[in-house]
Amino acid sequence: MDKKSALAALAALGQDTRLEVFRLLVRAGAEGVPAGEIASRLGTVQNTMSAHLKVLDHAGLVRTERAGRVVRYVADMTGFRDLLAYLMEDCCNGSPELCQPVIQAVTCNC
């Protein structure tokens, strides 16, 4: 992942509504959630939510699956992984003890 993509992903997540959307989709798993349901669940008007979903999609954090008229949004964890890798690049080289907490946090639950 390049700098521009990482920046887009972080800026996308650094906004109240979009952060909630991403977490909602992470919890929802592989099935995803229809766009309209995302809007109603988070109490946001439809067109505003559509704009936010576009930002998340463009940032590579979600992907879409169309089924008829309904568009389901699904969290894209590979995009999220790439972001993580970018942020932690050369972390261990500099000082292994510094990134230790991060490893433990991710590995404990799974």
Partner DNA sequence: TCCATATATCGATAAATCCAGAATTGTCAG
Partner DNA sequence: CTGACAATTCTGGATTTATCGATATATGGA
Q: Which residue ranges make up the site for a second copy (CB under 8 A)?
A: 3, 6-7, 10-16, 19-20, 22-23, 26-30, 75, 77-78, 80-82, 84-85, 87-107, 109-110
Query: What does 65 interact with, of a second copy, DNA, none (CB < 5 to 8 A by kind)?
Result: none
User: In sequence order, which residues have a C-beta less than 8 Å from that of residue 85 and are 6 or more positions away?
Assistant: 1
Select the binding partner of residue 42 from a second copy, DNA, none (C-beta < 5 to 8 A, by kind).
none
The binder of 1, among a second copy, DNA, none, by C-beta within 5 to 8 A per type, is: none
Helix axes 3-13, 77-87, angle to 10 degrees: 110
For residue 97, the tally of other CB atoms under 10 A from its CB is 7
